[in-house]
Amino acid sequence: MKREIEETGKIVEKAENRLRSLCNRLSPQISLVLIICMLTVFAALSVYMAVSSVYGTGSRQPDIQHIRVIKIKSGNDSINFQKIKEYDNFDE
């Protein structure tokens, strides 16, 4: 287990070094343009998700099942589990 964690750490470190080397090659103007583009895309996605969730709330109605009344024999005697089929008839 410890070996797998070390190998994963090495892979992450290599990927991080490659990404840093790619970013260091960019000029400050290009990196600024990339950051602004990424912020614009993320902001647009955020607004889209917020608006679509608010708009979609009213259009989709959930399927509501109403509670059915169960008729139980009146009296002080307890339910006989042998005769439970009498109490399972919901259509009465």
Give the pair of three-digit tokens for residue 7.
Answer: 């190998």
- Predicted confidence (pLDDT) per residue in 53-73, tens digit: 887 666 666 677 777 777 766
Residue 4 pLDDT greater than 80, yes or no: no
- CB 31: neighbour CB atoms within 10 A? 13
Between residues 17 and 68, which one has the greater pLDDT? 17
Q: Do 72 and 87 touch, CB atoms closer than 8 A?
A: yes
pTM: 0.45
Give the pair of three-digit tokens for residue 88.
Answer: 């399972």
Between residues 54 and 32, which one has the greater pLDDT? 32
Q: Residue 88's pLDDT is what?
A: 56
